[in-house]
Copies of this chain bind each other. A is one copy, B any other.
Amino acid sequence: MRLVVPVSGSDPKTRLAAVLSPTERREFTEAMLADVVAAATAAGHEPEVVSTAPLDCAAPVTVDDRGLDDLVNDLLASTVTDGGGTLAVVMADLPLVTPESIERLLAPDAAVVLAPGLGGGTNAFVCRHPEFGVDYHGASIRDHRRIARDVGASVAEVDSRRLATDIDEPGDLAEVLLHSDGAAADWLAAAGFSLSLTDGRVAVSRE
């Protein structure tokens, strides 16, 4: 089983630009990646990171500047179609992920296991079927269900809030402070972020 964590290392997390400088977005991206790598490692795996640009990480990093679809479909071809193996792909912006959620992703014996993200994305998947491929544009979870069905692959979905919570926008940062004590949460706290209540809703503020 091969577990790959793709990450955008060049100008990451642009939708956080309203609250983080370019340097901070890069540091925060590395902190989230560290949480994902730590969870996968603690679950007994050897995660490989593929980044569009060099970045700091405890796991081996390969630099590959291709788009996500090309990268992942090439990994599927070499690992599953040609290699007869299993590929797991876990996004790098999931700092709530725990060893248990990684284990839950890997538990079903379906040919394709999908972990939906909030908003229609696909935050992680496992593939053992030689004809499955990815298309991350738009509501990718629907496309991935359809692609799996079209190639006759059995499909399971993992019902995990931790795998579903990708951090893209300022409003997402509260989830990190609420539900994690990992590197990304530490980074946010050190950068002055804390939870605040506005109109009864939870948000973050920065000192």
Chain A interface residue count, Cβ-Cβ cutoff 8 angstroms: 29
Question: In this assembly, does A101 line the interface, its C-beta being within 8 Å of a C-beta of chain B?
Answer: yes
Q: Tell whether, in the assembled complex, residue A138 and residue B202 are in contact, meaning their CB atoms are under 8 Å apart.
A: yes
Question: In this assembly, does A113 line the interface, its C-beta being within 8 Å of a C-beta of chain B?
Answer: no
Inter-chain CA distance A13–B145, complex, in Å, is: 31
Question: In this assembly, does A44 line the interface, its C-beta being within 8 Å of a C-beta of chain B?
Answer: no
Question: Which of A17-25, A68-76, A115-123 lies at the binding interface?
Answer: A115-123
Instruction: From the candidates B138, B139, B179, B200, name the one contacting A116 in the complex (CB within 8 A).
Output: B179
A residues lining the B interface (CB < 8 Å): 98, 100-101, 104, 116, 118-120, 137-139, 141-142, 159-165, 174-175, 178-179, 195, 197, 200-202
19 of the cross-chain contacts (CB-CB < 8 Å) are A101-B159, A104-B159, A116-B161, A118-B165, A118-B175, A119-B174, A119-B201, A120-B174, A120-B178, A120-B202, A138-B200, A139-B178, A139-B202, A141-B178, A142-B178, A142-B195, A159-B160, A161-B163, A161-B164
